Amino acid sequence: METILMGIIISLLVLVGILFYLLFRIRFQPDFPPETDSQNIIQKNTLTFVFSNEGILISQSDIPIDSQFHLHLSIGQHISEQKKLKNLEKYFETALKFKKNISLKLFEEKDMMIIRRHDLIFTPVLKEKEVISVVLVLQEIISRNKDQEHLSANKELEEQRNYALKQIDEIEAQKSELEIAFKKSSKHHIMLQKALRKNELQKAELEKALEIINNQKVELEKANKEIKESSRLKEIFLANTSHEIRTPLNAIIGFTNLLLNSELKENQKKYLENIKASGNNLLVVINDILDFSKIESGKLTLEEIEFDFKNLIKHTISTLSVKSQEKGIELKYDISPDIPEVIVGDPVRLNQILINLIGNAIKFTNTGGWVRLMAANGKITDDRIKILFKVEDNGIGIAPDKLAYIFQSFTQGQSDTTRKYGGTGLGLSIVKQLIELQTGEIEVESQTGKGTAFTFYIFMKIGKNRDAVRIKHQSKPTPRLLADHMKILLVEDNLINQQLAYDTIKAWNNKIEIDVAENGKLALEKVEAQTYHLILMDIQMPEMDGIEATQRIRQMVEPRNRTPIVAMTAHALKNEKDNCLSIGMNDYISKPFDPEDLFAIISKFCPNPENITNPEKIAESVIIPRLNLNTEKAYVLFNTSNLKKIYQNNHAKISKIVKMCYESIPNEIVEIQKSFDTNDWEVLRNKAHALKPKLGYLGMDTQQDNAKNIELMSQQPDNEKLKLQEAINEIKEYWETATPEIEDYLMHQPAE
């Protein structure tokens, strides 16, 4: 009610001002609108409308009876509800925005005798530089040509003056009533002012809070970058540490294996077995740390391959039976017959889970005890199966107050467990996370001195290709016989590792001929001079590393470019293996290597006895990954892995897309900068949207994120201009740095 009264008061005051303004113009400017040589005024009708600054009609003048034009609006309606005049609301908003009169001629009609003209004027009413209302005046002016009979202009002006005086009389009559209403509303006005003041204070507090939030956002972004950098450095540290530990460990375990196969006294054999066991324990610790790091960073991925489930269980039990027999522990297992023969999943990770749980059970069970594994079919839905596992023992058990922490990282049941039994305390944490990665869960029940039971389930798919799995697990001919007369190039800079690999292979099959190269550069000279059945390639070497040496070999003429190359390195992270395979190597074995794994690798690339004496025959039979048919290097700033998935390694299509990106992206970056400089945010948004997938095709993930951020920030650019320019600069700098790599890639692609 108070708001309406205030609106009425303001509108009436405004109207008084307008009427006095009209009287002033009538008195001192009697010739407006001006006469021309060809016309004079016959009649002028004026319609006045007063709108609040929100666009609500709060008053209007009487419509002249003989007027042919008027607005259809009632008090309280918004100006946008008037549909008769096109763009009426737009003119209103322009007057409001610029705080000045907006005048225009709506239309003019002419015939032989009469000229009819309609004018529109928006006038903002200001109070302390703020618009409090807007007055709309519609004028209808009728005039005749000068050569026709016309009415006196003074008469017309007199009529306008009389009309204005009439309006003033009506306002004066309402003055007393308005004064009373104003006094009543003054109290509410004071309350309104207090509320507005409170609102201003709250607004200031919100702005201050927003500033704090923005500062925190900047700090969080900075912290996020530091965390990413720390994670990257951590990964490098782990990789280097793993390499530095595995290199001497390779020699320790390798030479121990060689000595164990020689004639020894009983106590010497016992010493060596202890050395081997300690070395293997250290290897488990290293693998646990690497696995934990990969899981923690989200980089551990699961395979989905077909495998013989029962055969895997039997192999796992067989592997652990030696340890259980040494301790005099009975190890038994039970597999439900209704579990399908072929399962699709990750057999390596399932084996890791079982070895960890069963190995722990054996470790914490005393001589004369027992350990049992049970596997049962939980539930089959469509092509998925829920497999239930239980690993139980009658060992030392776990204290009730420790059960809640048993799956936490670096935690074991007792404070002296690590000292007494060894390990990192990561095993069960890794097991839990591996199970959860396979949409499963694990639980533990235990009683001190009576034993422990771990129960878990995982979901896998039911396999179909039973024959392929059977063939895969059928016994193969003895590898030793197939490898006779093979010629191998061992590329290794570490003299100890050279001797170890040489002696291990010779101890297995003395007929194999082995050449040694101390670095990649010497390896190239040897490969150019003669042909080998197999190259065992170290990665980290002086002069030329194994990556570059492999790329150079793949660029040689046939058949040397097809020589099988196997990475044999102390780097054990998965991305290292993927990198080796991506640049053209055929297989990978990590140090310290298991002799049987090395023998299997050698046999794998010597499958046909009739080709043994001819290395070129073996080279012709080796399939080099399609990636390397175009001798693609391992680039740092871009890669084509995304395009390989899209085009299924079709290199003609891949190189075509790379070329198109190379030709179009520079222009798009220029357009992005140009649209930013001219504040053309819509163009900026569209260009960033178009650039985003191209950067993704080239494996430039960070710059793809930058393009995405530019697209988002350009929707509200006023507060994000600094960040927008930073993101644009980063894309420009990155592209300039990456361009030589892309040019090198395109230069090495075959012509279409």
Q: Are residues 575 and 596 in the same domain?
A: yes
Say what angle helices 427-437 and 266-296 make with each other, to 10 degrees.
50
Give yes or no: residues 695 and 739 share one domain.
yes
Instruction: State the residue range of the domain holding 143.
Output: 2-173
Model confidence over 655-668: pLDDT tens digits? Answer: 888 888 888 899 99
Confidence check: pLDDT of 409 > 80: no
Mean of the pLDDT values across residues 614-632?
49
Determine the Cα–Cα distance for residues 256 and 253; give it in Å rounded to an integer: 5
Position 229 in a domain: no
Q: Are strands 342-345 and 451-462 parallel, antiparallel or unpaired?
A: antiparallel
Which residues are CB-contacts of 30 (< 8 A; sequence separation ≥ 6)?
153, 154, 157
Q: What is the mean pLDDT of residues 292-314?
A: 76
CA 419-425-429 angle, 5° bins: 165
**In 3-state terms, the chain is what percent helix, strand and coil (to 5)?**
55, 20, 25
Angle between helix 309-327 and 347-363 (nearest 10): 20
**H/E element, 722:** helix 721-747
Residue 324 within any structural domain of the chain: yes
Residue 699 has pLDDT above 60, yes or no: yes
Under the banding of pLDDT at 50, 70 and 90, the label for residue 458 is very high
pLDDT at residue 27, rounded to an integer: 43
The tokens for 109 are: 């009609």
Per the domain annotation, does 582 fall within a domain?
yes
CATH of the domain at 452: 3.30.565.10
Kindly indicate the confidence band of residue 536, based on its pLDDT and cuts at 50, 70 and 90.
Answer: very high
Which CATH number characterizes residue 43's domain? Answer: 3.30.450.20
Q: Tokens 């009415």 appear where?
A: 151
Instruction: Looking at the structure, tell me whether residues 499 and 468 fall in a common domain.
Output: no
Chosen domain end from 437, 453, 473? 473
Whether 549 shows a pLDDT value over 80: the answer reads yes
Same domain, yes or no: 321 and 373 = yes
The count of structural domains within the chain is 4
CB neighbours (10 Å) of residue 114?
14
The amino acid that residue 749 corresponds to is Q
Report residue 250 as tokens: 């390779």
- Residue 123: strand pairing partners: 135
Residue 468 near residue 308, CB atoms below 8 Å:
no
9 with 157, same domain?
Answer: yes
pLDDT band at residue 413 using 50, 70 and 90 as cut-offs: very low
Query: 90 and 22: one domain?
Result: yes
Among 173, 208, 227, which residue terminates a domain?
173
Determine phi and psi for 354, rounding to 5 degrees. -65, -45
Candidates 81, 77, 80; CA nearest to 91 is 80
Determine the average pLDDT of the residues in 20-42: 48
Confidence of residue 631 (pLDDT cuts 50, 70, 90): very low
CA distances for 48 relative to 59, 139, 152, 167, 191, angstroms: 8, 9, 24, 11, 33
Query: 93 falls in which pLDDT band (50, 70, 90)?
Result: confident
What's the CA gap between 425 and 289, in Å, rounded? 10
